[in-house]
Structure formats: structure tokens, C-alpha cells
């Protein structure tokens, strides 16, 4: 066998063998199924990025108040207006210079209006856009972290447009739990319970200045009935979950009930120690997303930077709470614009129909090639089988996800692979009609069809890459199978069949070609 033919044959055997080895599911599912094939949920979320601007303004208001208090400025009040402007009312005109200096430490704000005893600041337009963009990007990462800890295989979390996020979770068996986990803002706050004021009067509308009513949601596990217990708490937040380093589920030794143990960082631990030390015998409310979980009495100063969140938790509820606390709070709430749930039975039907259509389409193509091109058609069919093997092997190697449109991409690949062989075979026929020898006809057929095949496949490949770059899950599945299929068909249609023809011509002296 000629040396060039030998290395070509070895290369083909090596590539096909590697594809079979990668695609064969001997120890696990090598090719992951998409949402439309194994069921799951598809969510379209929108981040309320304006809330991040509001939170930024609130932070600045709080810091300006502290700075004014520490500087001994009497009569200075700071508040956030509805449009997120920050208004500073001065005790006297002499305080203007100091307040202006304090406000200059916040590059997000610009002086909008100045009067004798009032300064008004506005969030700069560029800063507003940056805050909103950062909020959406941080929400994306937070949701991705939560899903990773939730344990979903092959999730899709990607940004769409300025404020929207697409989430696809294949194989999720409990959609409501997953949606709850994703949508929680997870703002953890510690506030003091106001036991000195009347809760009854507050419920009648006489809420003391600086207080608010927060409810504790209690569910009866036996009946499913939910009751809401009101608490009157101080509006001021003493500590937030931003200072957490860890959250994990533990069980108490007495009743074996789950609770969430939280650990603060160094700054949070010091603040928690100061808060508990200054408020012994008072109740400290632990609030997540405006829902009070527990309000234990502070028995003594607590050091070590550790606390626990108790409640009527199930193990799953405690685990989900720990997940959202570890992953961090969303910088802005998210709303669900679209919620599609695909059942596993629908996914199985899609797989069966996709496989059936692939088999039927493949058999029709194989039959046509055998009848119309005879021996050459047999070689084209062999190349077609190898093409499918290479496609599956490459998808398994890349960890690609197979979707229903991806199956459509495989079917289209079958047609394109045969199309390349048709172009080559028709060129060979033309050369044979001009009384060329079999070898000359094959040489000319491949060389003249090559550029046409290359042009058609490259343009299709470019379109597939664009679809993959800008498409969502199912569309990406189509783009992946189409892209891999195009490369595989180029290899099988041009390289493999040509090598087989060369082997036949070397092994047997053929004067007529069955084509």
C-alpha cells in the first residue's frame, strides 16, 4: 500500500475509533439532553434595576446622616425623595460647606440644586446606567451560583438585552422550589423588636415613628394552613447579610429540627458582638425578604461571629435558605415574565419522534443513493454513517446538549453530507462521459467539486456560528449539531470517500466505475 494511502487510512481509523469511544455511554450519559427532551423549566426574568439605584441612594443617605452626626451638626436631616434624589436640610447656612465636603466623597452624586438651607443631590446619569448594568450582571452571577449549588445539570443562565435573564433548568423535578430559590432577593436583615410600644395600636394604624410592622409566616405542616404573626420592629437595620461568609444546615440535638447556622466575616462578627452586647434582654428580629423568621431574646453578648436562623423548616427549606445566603442577595428584585414547564413525558415523545424522523429520513437518503449511484452510493452511505458517529462523538467530547432543534440540525447535516457526495459524483459522471479513465475522472471530480462544496459549507457554518452566539438554548442546540455536522461531512465526503476510492483503485484495476 502506498505510504500516503496508509497514513490516510490510519487517520480515519483513529478518528472514527475515538468518536465511538467518546460517544458510547458505558459509564454515564455522554450526551446531555436539553430542556425540551428531558423536561424542566424555562424562565424569562427581568431585573428591577431601578431598585439598585434606590438602594445606592439609601446607602448614601445613611452614610451622610452618620457623618453629620459624628461632625456634631445639629438639625441636619437627610432623606431620599421618590425620584432617588437626596435632599439635605441644613440646621444653618454655616453647615453647607461641611455637608458639601461630605457629599463630595460620593462620585455617584452631583449637586442639583442649592438653596440657603437645602441641598439637593441627584444620581449622575452615567452612574445610574452603570449601577443598573452592574445590578443585572450581579443578579446573573448570583442566580448562576444558586443554581450551581442547587445541583442542576447543564443549566442555561444568560443575559438577554439590558435587563432580562434567561434561565433553563433541564431535568428539574420540583419547578416551584427552583423558581422560589431563583426569585428570592435574599436580603437578610437584623432589627430590634420594639417591645416598649403597643403592637395593637400599631395594627390599628398608630405605628410609632421609626417603627414598622413585619409578619412571620408560619405554616401548619399537617394541614398546610398559613398564619401570619405580626411583630413591631425598629425600622433601622442593624446588620445585613452582606457580611456573611458561610451558611449551612444543622440540626438541634433536642428536637432534631433543622436550622441554618450563619457565620459572619471579621467586620460582621465585631458588629454582631456590639449589637448583642448593647441589647441584652431585648429581642432581635431576623428578617429575610421582609419575612420574619425568628425573634430570639438576646441573653448575653455573642462573640465568635456566629448565629442561627430557626423556624418551622423542612430540610429542603433550610437547605434552600442556606443556598441563597451563601450565594448572596440579589442587588435588585427579579420578576418572572415567562414561565414554561416541559413535562418529562413530552420530552420522551420529542425524543421518540426525533429519532423516528432521523431514521426515516436517513433510510430514504440511503435508498436513493444506492439506487441512483450504485457502488458509489454505497460509499456515500458508509460516509454518512461515519458522519453521524463523528457528530455524536464530538458532542460527547465537548459536553454539548442535545435539543429538539439539535435533532433537526442532525437531519439537515445528513442532507448536506449527501449533497456534497452528489456534487462529487455528478462531476465524476461528466468526466466519464468525456471518455476519461476512472482514475482521471475521480481526480477531476473531487478537485472541481471541492471549491463549490467548500463555499456552501463555509457560508452555512458562518450562519451556524452566528446562531450559537446570539441564540438561546434550543437554537444553540441546532447551531451546535449543524456546526459539528458540517465539519464532519466535509471530512467524510471529501477525505474518507476519496481515500476509499484510492484504495479500490490501488487494490483492483477498475476500468468501469459503478456510478
Vertex 249 angle, CA 39 and 237, to 5°: 105
Q: 204 pLDDT band (50/70/90 cuts)?
A: very high
pTM over 0.75, yes/no: no
pLDDT tens-digit series, residues 299-310? 888 888 888 888
Which residue has 428584585 as its cell numbers?
A: 333
pLDDT (average), residues 253-271 = 86
> What are residue 188's phi and psi, to 5 degrees?
-95, 125
Q: pLDDT at position 338, please? A: 87
d(CA 208, CA 192): 14
Helix (H, G, I), strand (E, B) or coil at 196: coil
Residues 211, 194: contact at Cβ < 8 Å?
A: yes
What pLDDT score does 27 carry? Answer: 46
In this prediction, residues 351-376 reach a mean pLDDT of 79
DSSP 319: H
Which element (helix H / strand E) includes 320?
helix 315-327
Question: Cα separation of 382 and 60, whole Å?
Answer: 70
**Distance of alpha carbon 335 from alpha carbon 320, whole angstroms:** 19
Query: How many angstroms separate the first and last alpha carbons of the chain?
Result: 25
What pLDDT, on a 0 to 100 scale, did the predictor assign at position 193?
94
Q: What is the DSSP string of 329-361?
A: --SS-EEEEEEEEE-HHHHHHHHHHHHHHHHHH
Confidence category of residue 79, pLDDT binned at 50, 70, 90: confident
Q: Cβ–Cβ contacts within 10 Å for residue 193, how many? A: 22
**Residue range 102-114: average pLDDT?**
87
pLDDT, average across residues 191-212: 91
CA 452 to chain CA centroid, Å, is 40
The closest alpha carbon to 289, from 215, 209, 194, belongs to 215
Ordered by where they begin, the domains of the chain are: 3-38+343-507 (1.20.1640.10), 40-163 (no CATH), 184-327+335-340 (3.30.1360.200)
- The size of the chain, in residues, is 515
Residue listed under C-alpha cell 450519559: 29
* Dihedral (CA of 428, 429, 435, 438) sign: positive
Say which residue the cell 405605628 belongs to: 207
Say if CB 477 and CB 401 are below 8 A apart.
yes
How many Cβ atoms are within 10 Å of 65's Cβ, its own excluded? 15
CA–CA gap between residue 448 and residue 423 (Å, rounded): 9
Rounded to an integer, what distance in angstroms lies between the CA atom of residue 251 and that of residue 259?
6
- DSSP collapsed to 3 states, 458-499: HHHHHHHHHHHHHCCHHHHHHHHHHHHHHHHHHHHHHHHHHH
Cα 381 to Cα 105: distance, rounded to the nearest angstrom: 73
φ, ψ for residue 104, nearest 5 deg: -65, -15
Q: Is the pLDDT of residue 1 over 80?
A: no
Q: Select from 138, 124, 122, 110 the least CA-distant residue to 52.
A: 138
Quick one: cell of 77?
Answer: 436631616
- Decide which of 474 and 20 is more confident: 20
**Please, which residues have CB within 8 angstroms of residue 458's CB and are 6 or more apart in sequence?**
none
**What pLDDT does residue 212 have?**
92
Could you tell me if 328 and 145 are in contact, meaning their C-beta atoms sit under 8 angstroms apart?
Answer: yes
What pLDDT is recorded for position 81? 86
pLDDT at 94: 79
d(CA 51, CA 132): 9
Residue 185 or residue 108, greater confidence: 108
The confidence score (pLDDT) of residue 42 equals 85
What's residue 198's pLDDT?
93
Q: Say if residues 375 and 382 touch (Cβ distance below 8 Å).
A: no
Biggest alpha carbon distance in the chain? 109
* pLDDT for residue 59: 80
**pLDDT tens for each residue of 214-250:** 999 887 767 778 889 999 999 888 888 878 888 889 8
Give the chain's mean pLDDT: 83
Mean pLDDT, residues 388-409: 81
The C-alpha atoms of residue 302 and residue 275 are separated, in whole angstroms, by 9
Amino acid at each position: 500500500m502506498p505510504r500516503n494511502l496508509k497514513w490516510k487510512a490510519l487517520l480515519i481509523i483513529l478518528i472514527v475509533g475515538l468518536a465511538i469511544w467518546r460517544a458510547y455511554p458505558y459509564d454515564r450519559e455522554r450526551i446531555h439532553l436539553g430542556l425540551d427532551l428531558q423536561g424542566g423549566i424555562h424562565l424569562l426574568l427581568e431585573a428591577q434595576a431601578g431598585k439598585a439605584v434606590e438602594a445606592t441612594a439609601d446607602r448614601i443617605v445613611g452614610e451622610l446622616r452618620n457623618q453629620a452626626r459624628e461632625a456634631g451638626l445639629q438639625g441636619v436631616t437627610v432623606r431620599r425623595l421618590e425620584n432617588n434624589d437626596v435632599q439635605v436640610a441644613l440646621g444653618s447656612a454655616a453647615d453647607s460647606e461641611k455637608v458639601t465636603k461630605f457629599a463630595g466623597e460620593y462620585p455617584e452624586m452631583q449637586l442639583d440644586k442649592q438653596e440657603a438651607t437645602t441641598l439637593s443631590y441627584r444620581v449622575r446619569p452615567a452612574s445610574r446606567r452603570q449601577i443598573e448594568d452592574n445590578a443585572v450582571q450581579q443578579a446573573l452571577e448570583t442566580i448562576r451560583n444558586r443554581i450551581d449549588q442547587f445541583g442542576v445539570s447543564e443549566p442555561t443562565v444568560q443575559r438577554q438585552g439590558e435587563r432580562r435573564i434567561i434561565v433553563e433548568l433541564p431535568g428539574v423535578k420540583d419547578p416551584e422550589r427552583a423558581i422560589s430559590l431563583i426569585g428570592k432577593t435574599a436580603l437578610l436583615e437584623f432589627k430590634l423588636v420594639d417591645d416598649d410600644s403597643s403592637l395593637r395600636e400599631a395594627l390599628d394604624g398608630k405605628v410609632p415613628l421609626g417603627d414598622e410592622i413585619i409578619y412571620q409566616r408560619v405554616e401548619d405542616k399537617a394541614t398546610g394552613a398559613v398564619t401570619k404573626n405580626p411583630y413591631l420592629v425598629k425600622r433601622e437595620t442593624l446588620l445585613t447579610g452582606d457580611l456573611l461568609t458561610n451558611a449551612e444546615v444543622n440540626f438541634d440535638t433536642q428536637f432534631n429540627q433543622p436550622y441554618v447556622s450563619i457565620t459572619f466575616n471579621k467586620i460582621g462578627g465585631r458588629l454582631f458582638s456590639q449589637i448583642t452586647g448593647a441589647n441584652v434582654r431585648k429581642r432581635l428580629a431576623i428578617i429575610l425578604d421582609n419575612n420574619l423568621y425568628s425573634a430570639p431574646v438576646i441573653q448575653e453578648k455573642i462573640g465568635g461571629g456566629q448565629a442561627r436562623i430557626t423556624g418551622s423548616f423542612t430540610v429542603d427549606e433550610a437547605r434552600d435558605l442556606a443556598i441563597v445566603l451563601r450565594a448572596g442577595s440579589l442587588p435588585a428584585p427579579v420578576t418572572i415574565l415567562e414561565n414554561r414547564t416541559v413535562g418529562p413525558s413530552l420530552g420522551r415523545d420529542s425524543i421518540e419522534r426525533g429519532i423516528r424522523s432521523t431514521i426515516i429520513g436517513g433510510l430514504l437518503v440511503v435508498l436513493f443513493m444506492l439506487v441512483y449511484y450504485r457502488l458509489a452510493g454505497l460509499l456515500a452511505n458508509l460516509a454518512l454513517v461515519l458522519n453521524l458517529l463523528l457528530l455524536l462523538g464530538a458532542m460527547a467530547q465537548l459536553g454539548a446538549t442535545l435539543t429538539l432543534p439539535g435533532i433537526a440540525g442532525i437531519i439537515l447535516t445528513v442532507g448536506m453530507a449527501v449533497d456534497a457526495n452528489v456534487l462529487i459524483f455528478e462531476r465524476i459522471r461528466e468526466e466519464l462521459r468525456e471518455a476519461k479513465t476512472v482514475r482521471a475522472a475521480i481526480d477531476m471530480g473531487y478537485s472541481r467539486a471541492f471549491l463549490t462544496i467548500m463555499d456552501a459549507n463555509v457560508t452555512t457554518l458562518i450562519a451556524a456560528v452566528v446562531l450559537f452566539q446570539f441564540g438561546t438554548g434550543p437554537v444553540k442546540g441546532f447551531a451546535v449539531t449543524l456546526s459539528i455536522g458540517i465539519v464532519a461531512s466535509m471530512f467524510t465526503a471529501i477525505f474518507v470517500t476519496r481515500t476509499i476510492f484510492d484504495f479500490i483503485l490501488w487494490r483492483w484495476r477498475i476500468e468501469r466505475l459503478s456510478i
